[in-house]
Amino acid sequence: MISKLQAAALAAVVTLPLALSGTAQAGATFDGVKQKGYVQCGVNLGLYGFSAPDDKGKWTGLDVDVCRAVAAAMFGDAEKVKYTPLSAQQRLPALQSGEVDLLSRNTTRTLTRDTANGLNFAPTNYYDGQGFMVSAKLGLKSAKQLNGATVCVLPGTTTEQNVADFFRANKMNFKPVVIEKNEELHKAFFAGRCDALTSDASQLAAIRAAETSNPNDFLILPELISKEPLSPAIRQGDEEWTNLVTWAFYAMVQAEEKGITSETVDAAMTSPDPDVKRLLGVTAGNGKALGVEENWAYNIVKQVGNYGQSYERNVGAGSKLKMPRGQNALYTEGGIMYAPPLK
Amino acid sequence: MSKDLSPPPSTVPPAGWAASYEEEPSQASTPPSPYGAQGGMTSLKPFGWAKDNLFNTKLNTVLTLACLAILWFAVPPVVSWVLLDATWLGTSEECRAGAGACWSIIVVKHRLIFFGTYPYDEQWRPFLACALFVAMLGVSGVRAFWRPGLAVAWALVLVGMGVLMWGGVLGLTHVPNDKWGGLPITLMLSVFSITLAFPLSILLALGRQSSLPAIRTICVGFIELMRGVPLVSVLFMASVMFPLFLPEGVTIDKLLRALAGLTLFTAAYLAEAVRGGLQAIPKGQYEAADALGLGYWQKTWLIILPQALRIVIPPIVNQFISCFKDTSLVTIVGLYDLLTAATVATTDPEWRPFFAEVYVFAGLLFWIFCFSMSRYSQWLERMANRYNRR
């Protein structure tokens, strides 16, 4: 005789793998996302300008806009995103385990992550790098003029290493002022204990915006001495999904290049420019290739904006961070943002 | 009382006596000190009281003056920072110009701190849910309400909270729990993990005392494993490693995983506190229960646990408080608890210089809850021990 409990246990053992294999088959990310009707997007817990809830608890930022662009392309609605805030340690496992479909969380693209960690990277949406901030009174134009300077730096990070490498490579000397805590480090710099403060350029901009009464008194020098290409990441193994994320971002860059903003996109629908026609789906083809509606890029530009709009709104002149475009300007304007042809 | 029996050094004979009694004023058996009549609470003149208690020896005089000096230098700056020079409703520019604390950041950011990413227009719902929850906790603490109806009330309140938080019925829009944040997360995580951990810990403690080797081994193994690793690693395992073992597409809610981790961790610690109580019960109690012919569960439920738990109220509440504060560690697994939301509020460049105010505020909120628990436990202890005060 099999008791009721044993029968239940047996049934569970027999049916569980079936149930699981069922979900595994639907697990191809692109189909999975389409089916559930939203993009599960991994973001930073709170990094101002990139991804953070605003005063009303609504997620905003440059990284958040990538999530919204993908949702706009897929569903025609940029709001169809669920956000999973992730800590730095959590982010890669969360993507690998399928907890999120897309990781847009200021993650530096590296060879190891691209290979051993089983990730694919979409195009870089923010080129960051370590830079120097100096007082505008010094009248410096370039980091190469920093010979003999005292430099405020956090200890024990790659930041410290990068500074030493930079000065050695340029045959210059510097005096490091090493301070353990961020707040004290900044205070020391603003009190004039060092000529320059070094950190990631985006950090420097945030520090300048937050901790000075007049941000124009300080200058972030144009040289970046390390490479931090922050890129959205996806799991390997679903090329359709990788393509969609990749081209959703490129569409934002292409729209900026063509001067199409969320305000002018409706007027642009009648543009005679064949590139614009293809981008906005007036000439069909791109949407079918990506497996979404033909007006996918129109939806992105309409609801999220082009890359330049997103940049200015979140980290640029229109935001509290006031970061110059720098490397993140279009290639036509001295930056390295470049979208391959959308055709 | 041995130190009272050995006479103090002859340099300051009578005052030394008085000082040593002052340390234990509540001891009923202490013989009245020579200064007792003047030094007691019925002292007529504050001046005389001060002379007897604060300036009665050279050492005490020096200590008193040192304390006064510290207060003299510490209190005015703190008061002026917190109150007098503070900016209450100004903009961030006014804060930067002012010298004191900038409480405006709390005014501007309080909704973010309390409710995190919950939809702004719907935030009355978590507010109401939290209010209900706290009110219910308060009611549950009152002895007059300890009757079966309370369980029914709890069930209703929990359903009501679920409806408020999730919505989706009664015309409320659906808010999935990945948008929850702030105070509701902290409250629910701590209260639910404590509530679930407590019975589990009793079972673990009983299991550890069990005469059945398998049960004993499992319980000891679990307790020692949980006590052997930091909470952060438990949460990390629950939230990061665990999903990797699940097949693709199958995910268990993050909040639930963190709650499970926190519950198991708290249960292990509580179990050791409960075991302390079990071991403090005289063997005669067990034997008397056996002699009455009670079975294991009857003996445990009727004789042992009521006495054992009463003894260990202080360490148990200690664990409760610790668990409440531990909830702030869930930030490591990306949950938006009160402290995480407060930290995020300080990343706004406009308000970033005023992070100290936000932390003070968050600290105050935690203190309110922890202090209430502590006071309540003292009342509970007095009530539970009123028949056998020693």
Q: What is the pLDDT of residues B300-331, one digit of tens each?
A: 888 888 888 888 888 888 888 998 988 888 88
| Domain identity same for A187 and A278 | no
Residue A253 lies in a domain: yes
Chain B positions touching A83 (Cβ under 8 A) are 117, 178
Out of A144-148, A167-171, A286-290, B118-122, pick the least confident: B118-122
* CATH code: domain of residue A148: 3.40.190.10
Chain B positions touching A210 (Cβ under 8 A) are 349-350, 352-353
With an 8 Å Cβ cutoff, are B333 and A55 in contact? no
Last-in-domain residue among B27, B50, B81: B81
Residue A24 lies in a domain: no
Q: Output the pLDDT for position B197.
A: 92
| Domain identity same for B60 and B108 | no
| Domain identity same for B177 and B56 | no
Across A105-114, average pLDDT: 87
A149 has pLDDT over 80: yes
Note down the domain range covering B164: 104-384
Q: What is the pLDDT of residues A159-188, one digit of tens each?
A: 788 899 999 999 999 999 988 777 778 888
What residues 154-183 of chain B have any CB closer than 8 A to a CB of chain A?
176, 178-179, 181
B6 has pLDDT over 70: no
A62 has pLDDT over 60: yes
Last-in-domain residue among A226, A254, A288: A226
| Domain identity same for A234 and A325 | yes
Residue A290 Cα, gap to closest chain B Cα (Å)? 23
With an 8 Å Cβ cutoff, are B333 and A83 in contact? no
Q: What is the pLDDT of residues A177-230, one digit of tens each?
A: 988 777 778 888 988 889 999 988 888 887 887 777 777 889 888 888 888 899
Confidence of residue B9 (pLDDT cuts 50, 70, 90): very low
Residue A18 lies in a domain: no
| Domain identity same for A180 and A304 | no
| Domain identity same for A57 and A82 | yes
Confidence of residue B14 (pLDDT cuts 50, 70, 90): very low
How large is the angle between the packed helices B148-166 and B124-140, nearest 10 degrees?
A: 170
Distances (CA, A) of B322 to B193, B268, B377: 12, 13, 14
State the total domains in chain A: 2
Residue A154 lies in a domain: yes
With an 8 Å Cβ cutoff, are A210 and B349 in contact? yes
Contacts 24+ apart (CB under 8 A), A93-97: A93/B240, A93/B241, A93/B243, A93/B244, A94/A42, A94/B240, A94/B243, A94/B334, A95/A42, A95/A119, A95/A233, A95/A234, A95/A235, A96/A235, A96/B244, A97/B243, A97/B244, A97/B246, A97/B248, A97/B251
Residues in chain B: 390
| Domain identity same for A194 and A234 | no
* CATH code: domain of residue B320: 1.10.3720.10
Q: What is the pLDDT of residues A115-138, one digit of tens each?
A: 888 899 999 999 988 999 999 888
Residue B92 lies in a domain: no
| Domain identity same for A149 and A211 | yes
With an 8 Å Cβ cutoff, are B108 and A58 in contact? no
Give pTM, 2 decimals: 0.77
Residue in B244, B250, B336 closest to A96 by CB: B244
Residue A9 lies in a domain: no
With an 8 Å Cβ cutoff, are B111 and A57 in contact? yes
Which runs of consecutive H residues, i.e. helices, occur in B80-123? 92-97, 104-115
Look at B43 and B334; give whichever has higher pLDDT: B334
Note down the domain range covering A109: 29-127+229-333
Residue A197 Cα, gap to closest chain B Cα (Å)? 18
Residue A340 lies in a domain: no
Residue in A23, A55, A209 closest to B249 by CB: A23
Residue B95 lies in a domain: no
Q: Output the pLDDT for position A196.
A: 93
Residue B227 lies in a domain: yes
| Domain identity same for B156 and B239 | yes
B10 has pLDDT over 50: no
- CB contacts < 8 A, A to B, total 116
Q: What is the pLDDT of residues B65-81, one digit of tens each?
A: 999 999 999 898 888 88
Residue B263 — φ and ψ, nearest 5°? -65, -50
| Domain identity same for B275 and B358 | yes
The single residue listed with the structure tokens 């219910």 is B136
Q: Output the pLDDT for position A310.
A: 95
Across B25-31, average pLDDT: 46
| Domain identity same for B257 and B122 | yes
| Domain identity same for A98 and A215 | no
Q: What is the pLDDT of residues B220-275, one digit of tens each?
A: 999 999 989 998 888 888 877 777 777 766 667 788 888 988 999 999 999 999 99
Residue A20 lies in a domain: no
Residue A316 lies in a domain: yes
Residue in B118, B240, B331 closest to A57 by CB: B118
Chain A positions touching B340 (Cβ under 8 A) are 45-46
Look at B102 and A245; give whichever has higher pLDDT: A245
Q: What was the ipTM of the complex prediction? A: 0.72
Chain A positions touching B118 (Cβ under 8 A) are 57
Q: Distance (Å, rounded) from C-alpha A47 to C-alpha B159?
A: 35
A19 has pLDDT over 70: no
Q: For residue B256, count CB atoms less than 10 angstroms from its CB and return exposed for 0-12, middle for 13-18, buried for 19 or more.
A: exposed
